[in-house]
A and B are shown apart, each in its own frame.
Chain A
Amino acid sequence: MNETLRHVRHVLTENPVTLGAAGLFVFFVLAALLGPSLAPYDPFASDAARALQPPSLRHWFGTDALGRDIFSRVLVATRLDMAIAVSSVILAFAFGTLAGLAAGFLGGATDQAIGRLVDTIMAFPLFVLAMGIVAALGNTVTNIVLATAIINFPLYVRVARAETAQRKSAGFIEAARLSGDGETAILFGQLLPNILPIMMVQASLTMGYAILNAAGLSFIGLGVRPPTPEWGIMVAEGAGLMISGEWWVALFPGLVLMLAVFCFNLLGDALRDIVDPRRRS
């Protein structure tokens, strides 16, 4: 354990980029937790008199077409965007890991069935599948989470299956078996904890993708419902205003969205460096 901690410190200090990403991450977590109480303006309050004002000291990110303060909206949106990303990742993580474990451990017909399911999902153009799910079930936050989880599910299954299959006949499993552990106990007591770190890496890597996916759905009009602040929808709203010179409406939510995804991607890389000894430098 101590060695791991030391390694975490090593990774953080050795690599300035990772340190920066960690800082960003803390910032986003704080924004998600405290956003609504920190926002200088009501993110929903429109005001025709101050529509489309450029960034200023009063409105740091300017105002949108309805006169709402973009900084407040971007800040408040953090919680929702994080929530969508985290909950879809948790869903995909939970079901994907279980399915992968089952496939890798049991093999045979179970493996075949799960493998076919995964192949089928993978054969879909994934973004269009997500669009289809949201269009069919209705555009609510729950369905966006569900759609994102479904298109991420195969990745988790594949990793979990491969890692499980690799360890199935490893020494520590044999040892557990000899000491009289049942199959269930081995599966959840030994194998699951052992592949968990790898799965965590997978999770942090797909967080960013989950945010991008939700933003993409918003862009074509299948995202969260207006007037809920959400980064993707705000970029979509601002997209048409760029040509008329109101660049700030799309730019700031776009930049924050990019930073969040950026931060998750870098942290995912760092986490992989920590967890995966084969990559340690």
Chain B
Amino acid sequence: MLTLIGRRLAAAIPSVIGVVVVTFVLTRALPGDPAAYFAGPNADAKAIAEIRTALGLDRSLPEQFVRYVGDLLRGDLGQSLSTGRPVLVELASRLPASLELTLLGLVISLAIALPLGILAATRPNSWVDHLCRVIVTLGVSMPTFFTGLVLVYVFYFLLGWSPAPLGRLDAFFSSPPDRTGLYLVDSLLAGDAETFVAAAGQLVLPAATLAIFTLAPLARMTRASMLAVLSADFIRTARASGLSGGTVVFAYAFRNAMLPVVTTLGMVFSFLLGANVLVEKVFAWPGIGSYAIEALIAADYAPIQGFVLTMALLYVVLNLSIDLLYGIIDPRLEPAA
């Protein structure tokens, strides 16, 4: 097991290096001048030049790159100019926000997609199947920012059911003591039910937005996988031996159909972490995605580089965990395969 992990991590090194180089080149290709931006509106040429020196941007690109890599190796991701804080600290405080949102979105999505997929698979080509297909495809056809806006409009503004879209907590709550950074978990650990409810309330709409968008891949994969399994010999045997339909579907077929769903789940998760930048923007969610957008607009190099690197590392870790999870779900599978 350990050698497997080691080998997989080693194999990921070239692409991580690739990410570091490409991001560096891409940020430097941004046509903006961060020195002019951060010198402020009233700055003259001298002030801009001073800022440029202070930021080390007057050095040659190779020199900047060597310095950047040197800093990276020491675990220093640099400073954000827009927020004035070390990128590492910011990412560490913002990543849990994105993770909590994405995870909850996936949980909701799974809670809907699995039943839909199973329902569709047990009645292929019926109207139920078609309806399921239409619903989930509609979900994935809506731009997430559009879904988010409509949800805020309907559930906050018109109906008043959900709390104000003000980020992770209402302004009059203070965040729970920091253990995991996930407010739901932290508030439970602190035994603070009120904060838990408040944090969950803030999460509902953005998580629902993400869930709507991710129904399709999960439900479709569940359906396809269930169909394949249901027509397999062992299921026929089980049915023939007189087991009830429900037992067959849930105890035998579902368990075996989970594998491809888990792969899809992993892919969707890594896609979402990067793709929910728009949702974060709509809901004023202080996650890493909105951090990256702002930085990109301001040509604030360090946060962009830090964000992309973090996402690349997460991607590597995630792929690895999926492989390991495979082994747990289906012990017959050789993980190295």
How far apart sit A258 and B213, CA to CA, in the bound complex (Å)?
Answer: 12
Bound Cα distance A136, B22 (Å): 12
25 residue pairs bridging A and B, Cβ less than 8 Å apart: A116-B15, A119-B15, A119-B18, A123-B312, A123-B315, A124-B312, A128-B277, A128-B304, A132-B26, A132-B27, A136-B26, A208-B141, A215-B143, A221-B297, A235-B146, A250-B146, A250-B149, A258-B138, A258-B141, A258-B142, A258-B143, A258-B146, A259-B141, A266-B133, A279-B224
Chain A contact residues, majority secondary structure: helix
> B145 contacts A17, CB within 8 Å?
no
What 0/1 readout, one digit per residue, does chain B (294-337) give for beta carbons within 8 Å of chain A? Answer: 00110000001001100110011000000000000000000000
Among the listed stretches A27-35, A78-86, A180-188, A239-247, which one makes contact with chain B, having 4 or more residues with CB under 8 Å of it?
A: A239-247
The contact string, 1 if C-beta is below 8 Å from chain A, for chain B 258-290, is: 000000000000010111011001000000010
Q: Which residues of B contact A104 (CB under 8 A)?
A: none
Chain A contact residues, CB within 8 Å of chain B: 14-17, 116-117, 119-120, 122-129, 131-133, 135-138, 208, 212, 215-216, 219-221, 232, 235-236, 239, 242-243, 247, 250, 254, 257-259, 261-262, 265-266, 269, 279, 281
Docked-complex contact A128 and B308, CB < 8 angstroms: yes
Decide yes or no whether B39 CB sits under 8 A from chain A.
no
Is B143 within 8 A of A254, CB to CB?
A: yes
Q: A16-B130, A262-B137, A262-B138 are in contact. Are A125 and B15 (CB under 8 A)?
A: no
Given known A17-B130, A116-B14, A138-B31, contact A281–B124 (CB-CB < 8 A): yes
Interface SS of B by simple majority: helix
- Distance between A261 CB and nearest chain B CB, rounded to angstroms: 4
Contacts A125-B308, A247-B153, A262-B138 given; does A281 touch B15 at CB 8 Å:
no
- Is B134 an interface residue, CB under 8 A from the partner? yes
Residues 126-158 of B, flagged 1 when their CB comes within 8 A of A and 0 if not, give 000010011001101111111001100100010
**Are B275's CB and A127's CB within 8 A?**
yes
B293 at the interface (CB under 8 A from A): yes
Alpha-carbon distance between A183 and B304 when the two chains are bound, in angstroms: 44
The 8 Å CB contact of A136, one of B30, B140, B311, is B30
Contact status A124-B146, CB under 8 Å: no
Please give 4 more A-B residue pairs, beta carbons under 8 A apart, in addition to A124-B274, A132-B26, A258-B143. A123-B15, A125-B292, A128-B307, A261-B140
